[in-house]
Structures are given as structure tokens and as C-alpha cells.
Amino acid sequence: MAASMLKTQSFIFYLIIITLFSTLVVSDHRSNSNVFGKYTSPSSLGLKREKLSHLHFYFHDIVSGKNATAVRVAGTSSNNSSLPLFGDIYMIDDPLTINPDINSKTVGKAQGMYAYSSQTEMSLLMVLNFAFTEGKYNGSTLSVLARNEAFNTVREMPIVGGTGSFRFARGYAQARTHSITLVHAIVEYNVFLFHY
């Protein structure tokens, strides 16, 4: 019985020591001004209630001519006629307009790049920001990192973040080709996103 009581007392002693040590470590961690990360409430950043917004605009990708908005910056010199674009990378600064007419009101730009990323289909890797220049979203951006299967009627791409009015944004963009020529593609975008 004495051995049992000694084991119980030892266990309680170790439990007390572990609890005190844990408390000291947590207290020291919270008082340390060099802490890498900590919980922050949304209200402490001035964030209010989360909203769901729908944006609608047209993307104009012009690949040649004096007003080109997309420039090939890298690619292969492949003679493979079945994969003539695979590996090509384009840097873009494409206008976003309120209507399909390129001369309609500009609401921003799509800035970034796309790369032809499939050997078997017309699929693009899209890495771009929608930088808005009009109205209440002036100065705000949305970031897209996505696969774009260009010949599908509707393509869905994730919105992975944003700035300004779109801080903490998440959602998706639906792209639908409005018209396309050898020089100019017009793509209709419907963007649905949660943000503060």
C-alpha cells in the first residue's frame, strides 16, 4: 500500500510540475513581443461583416498589332504541328470593360501571364490580377491562379485573394468566350466572391 501511495504522490507531483511548466511556457510565449503568429480578431483590423459580391466585365486579349495587350515572352520553337503553342508564355495587360465593345467604359486591367500548359488540349495556366480602376473598387485587386480550358463553353477559375475592398477575398470566376479572331479574344467574366 505504501508503494501504491508513493506512485500516486509521484504522479501528482509530476502532473503539478508539468502543469506549472506549461503555464510558464504559455505565459512567456504570450508576453514575448517577437511572436511569429497569434490570433487576431477580424474586428481588430476594422473588418465588418463578410459580403458576397458579383462582378461582371469583359476581358480583351489582343495578341498582335500596334495595340497588342498580350506579348509572348517565352516559348518553344517546336516544329510539332499538333502542339504549336505548348510551352508558350504570354505577359498580359488586358483591358477590362463594362461591355464587349473595347471602346466601352474601362473598369480595370487583367495583369499577369498565361501559359499554354497542355500537350493534348487547349489549356492555359492563368496567373493574373484583376486590377480595378473604377467606382468603389478603384485600387482594389483580385488574384486568379487557375487552369483555363479555353475551348470549354464556360470555364470556372478560383479567386485566391485580393487587396483593398477585396481583402480576404475568396470565390470563383466564370469565363465565357464572347468572340474570338486571330488577333482579339473577348471573354465575358462573371465573378462571385466573398470579401469584407
175 closest CA partner among 160, 159, 161: 159
Residue 45 confidence class, pLDDT cut points 50, 70, 90: confident
pLDDT at res. 19: 57
Q: Which amino acid is at 184?
A: H
pLDDT at res. 28: 46
pLDDT at res. 84: 72
Residue 12 and residue 9: Cα distance in Å, rounded? 5
Non-local (6+) Cβ contacts of 191 within 8 A are: 53, 54, 55, 56, 130, 142, 159, 171, 172, 173, 174
pLDDT at res. 88: 93
Residue 43 confidence class, pLDDT cut points 50, 70, 90: confident
98 closest CA partner among 30, 36, 178: 178
Q: What is the mean pLDDT of the chain?
A: 86
**Predicted confidence (pLDDT) per residue in 59-98, tens digit:** 999 999 999 999 999 987 666 656 678 889 999 999 999 9
For residue 147, is pLDDT > 50?
Answer: yes
For residue 6, is pLDDT > 70?
Answer: no
Per-domain boundaries in the chain: 49-195
pLDDT at res. 39: 84
At the topology level, CATH places domain 49-195 in: AOC barrel-like (2.40.480)
For residue 55, is pLDDT > 60?
Answer: yes
11 grid coordinates: 504522479
Residue 24 confidence class, pLDDT cut points 50, 70, 90: very low
Residue 66 and residue 109: Cα distance in Å, rounded? 18
